[in-house]
Amino acid sequence: MSGVLDGGALEQLVFDREIVVCCGPGGVGKTTVAASLALECARRGRRACVVTIDPARRLANALGLSEVGNAPSRIDGDWPGELWALMLDTKSTFDALVTRHAASPEQADAILQNRLYRNISGVLSGTHEYMAMEKLYELHEQGRLPGSSDHEAPRFDLVVVDTPPSRNALDFVDAPRRLTRLLDNRVFRLLMVPTRAYLRAVSVATQAFLRTISKVVGAEVVTDVVAFFQAFEGMEEGFRQRAQEVHDLITSDATAFVLVASPARDAVREAAYFADKLAEAGIPTSALVVNRVHPRFVEGGSEPGGGSEGGSAGGLEGGTVATALAPFYANLAEFVDIAGREESHFATLGARVAPAPVARVPFLPADVHDLEGLAAVADELFPPPASQRA
């Protein structure tokens, strides 16, 4: 029974959880799955928001969004709930975060102008994850806190996010704490203290380190780094606290991690690695979605009519008969073969994440790139009988 959809168990994702994080190797359809989960949530009369941080903007392809932004936009459609979507603008999210934590507009300016900051906020890949977490937290909190200034903003029942492709699912979980670790770097904390007495206390290793950087990248980089840490003076606590809150939310029961994979060897290997890393961090995988599975034309994996690869027409008599039907048998045999191989791959992966439910999404008649396609994927994830849809 491995690989058989347990619709009931997948349903708790869109009913009981407040945040769903879709993670997995690149190119397996994380964005599609994330958007389909949010769409299903809206179809069940709830208010869902899907967030993507993928620089390739795949969600835009699927949802017809054209712009990145910081506020979710609502997608109209024929469903009782609400579907919102957001393509994250990493840099402006970070700018807003700095401005919020800064003690004065001058402090905010000093940071926003700093070259190190501009590099961090615009380019660094870990920053995408960090800002996604930040935005996730914001969207989750908005409308939830009594007396919140965001009372105009909708309160989402579910926020779904797809993670950017990274080596490790934990990069995502860990992202908010990475900046605080950066700010905590001892070498640079010493640099921030301007008096000579402290400079003398700077260790030999630190001096060697500074000489090293200056030699390799030029003194101006060092100046920038020091200015950056000075500008951040006094803000670390706010950042640290926020990072902790975000981390607590993401590791709480309100959040579910959905592992998305495709049934090929390399994707399965990577997905297993993701699952292991999550498990090591005490985070269970809530569901496994195996995407882009070939359809099973023959149930139970038995050979079609005795037909095997090649020219024999299923053990039937007659040479001319065989040639006319041979392509059909050969074709069917190819698909039976690949379906069997795929089955064994996701059985392995399913066992790895047990007792998490496993859902399969077969190749659909058309590539998924619009709402109709997302609805078709949602139908596969939540088969109509279980969902009691008309």
Partner 1 sequence: MDPVGFCTQTRLLIVAGKGGVGKTTVSAAVARMAADAGLSTLLVDVEGKGGLPAVFGYDELLGYEETVMAPQRPGAGEIRARTLTPDDALLEYLEEHGMRRISRKLLSSGAIDVVATAVPGIKDILVLGKVKQLEQGSAIDLIVVDAPAAGHAVTFLTSASGLLDSVRVGPIRAQAQDVVDLLSNPARCQVLLVTLPEETPVNEVVETAYKLEDRVGVSLAAVVVNGLYPPRPGLDADPAEVAERQGLRLPATELEQLRAAARFRLGRAALQAEQVTRLARSLPLPQLPLPYLFTTEVGWPEVGILARALAAGVRALPIERAASSSGTVDASTVSPRP
Please give the residues from 229 up to 288 whose contact with partner 1 meets the rule CB under 8 A: 262-267, 269-270
Residue with smaller CB distance to partner 1, 194 or 365: 365
Distance of CA 295 to the CA centre of its chain: 26
Report the residue from 145, 279, 324, 351 that binds partner 1 according to the rule CB under 8 A: 324
* Both tokens assigned to 283: 């985070």
Q: Please report, as residue ranges, which positions from 2 to 21 form the binding site for partner 1 (by CB under 8 A).
A: none
One residue of 61, 99, 251, 312 binding partner 1 per CB under 8 A: 61
| For partner 1, the closer CB: 109 or 337 | 337
How many residues touch partner 1 under the rule CB under 8 A: the total is 78
Instruction: Answer yes or no whether residue 45 interacts with partner 1 by CB under 8 A.
Output: no
Strand 82-87: give its sheet, edge to edge: 73-75, 82-87, 47-52, 158-162, 19-23, 255-261, 285-293, 358-362
* Residue closer to partner 1 (CB basis): 75 or 225: 225
Residue with Cβ nearer partner 1 (19 or 288):
288
Residue ranges in 368-387 that form contacts with partner 1 under rule CB under 8 A: 369
Residue 56 binding partner 1, by CB under 8 A = yes
Minimum Å distance from CB 325 to partner 1? 6
**Stretch of 12-20, 39-47, 77-85, 182-190 contacting partner 1, by CB under 8 A:** 182-190
Could you tell me which of 1, 80, 5 has the C-alpha nearest to residue 39?
Answer: 80
Contact of 387 with 378, CB cutoff 8 Å: no
54: closest CA among 102, 88, 28, 80?
A: 88
Q: Which of 153, 193, 330, 375 binds partner 1 (CB under 8 A)?
A: 330
Q: Which stretch, 97-105, 112-120, 142-150, 280-288, contacts partner 1 (CB under 8 A)?
A: 112-120
CA distances from 283 to 11, 187, 253 (A): 19, 33, 10
List of E strands, the chain: 19-23, 47-52, 73-75, 82-87, 158-162, 255-261, 285-293, 358-362
Burial class (CB in 10 A: 0-12, 13-18, 19+), 114: buried
Residue 45 or 340: which CB sits closer to partner 1?
A: 340
Which residue from 96, 153, 202, 326 is in contact with partner 1, where contact means CB under 8 A? 326
Q: Which residue, 134, 185, 163, 121, is CA-closest to 277?
A: 163
* Binders of partner 1 in range 286-315 (CB under 8 A): 295, 297-298, 304-305, 314
Interface positions, 132-161, toward partner 1 (CB under 8 A)? none
Q: Which of 366, 383, 384, 389 binds partner 1 (CB under 8 A)?
A: 366
Q: How far is the CB of 365 from partner 1 (least distance, A)?
A: 6
Among residues 70, 60, 58, 286, which one has the least CA distance to residue 169? Answer: 286
Distance CA 280, CA 253 (A): 17
CB of 264 to partner 1, least distance (A): 5
Binding to partner 1 (CB under 8 A): which residues in 20-39? 25-28
Pairing outcome for strands 255-261 and 19-23: parallel
Contact 59, 87 (CB under 8 A): yes
